Structure 1
Amino acid sequence: MQQIVRLPGQLGAIIRSERLRRGMTQAELAGLTGTQQKTISAIEGGSAGTKLETLLGVIARLDLDIQIVPRQRGGAIEDVF
């Protein structure tokens, strides 16, 4: 699964989808990552105030990676926002 993410809400939706695919509750993921359930809820809801360290820990626990690549120009307007 490769997806373009440019907004916190987009990343939150991917995290939520992967958590649910794995059959985990927010509380279970929080316990595995040393955070609170409300933090997982905030991430999934697209909160822009999440610490990068926390976010990377959640992503790693879900066995996901972040890949940074140059933005391709000339795509659909939906890809910009």
Structure 2
Amino acid sequence: MKHLVRTSKNLGHAIREARKAKNLTQKELASMSGVWQETISKIENGSGGTKLETLFDLVAALDLEITVTERSKGASDGLEDIF
């Protein structure tokens, strides 16, 4: 699984897809990660303002990693994805 993440909405989508691929509910992921289910819901829906440490807790629980690279010049879904 590979996702291009440029916004909080993109990251939320990637986390949701990873959770579903592992057949986990938000409640199960909350138990595994120590992150409240309500917080997972907000992240998956693209709400901003989440602590970086919380995101790393979710990424670790889902057995994912984050890679930072230079921005590609490819097509984007919308103007907000460019900035």
Distance in 2 between the 1:12 and 1:27 partners? 16
Q: State the TM-score, normalizing by the size of structure 2.
A: 0.86
Deviation for aligned residue 1:47: 1.3
2:21 matched to which residue of 1?
21
Distance apart, 1:2 and its partner CA: 2.4
Root-mean-square deviation (CA), in Å?
A: 1.6
Ranges in structure 2 where 5+ consecutive residues have no aligned partner: none
**CA separation in 2, counterparts of 1:77 and 1:52?**
24
Structure 1 position 78, deviation (Å): 3.5
Stretches of structure 1 lacking an aligned partner (at least 5 in a row): none
Question: Is 2:11–2:44's contact at 8 Å kept on the other side of the alignment?
Answer: yes
Kindly report structure 1 stretches of 4+ aligned residues shifted beyond 4 Å.
none
Report the number of matched residues.
80
Is residue 19–residue 29 contact of structure 2 (8 Å, CA) maintained in 1?
A: yes
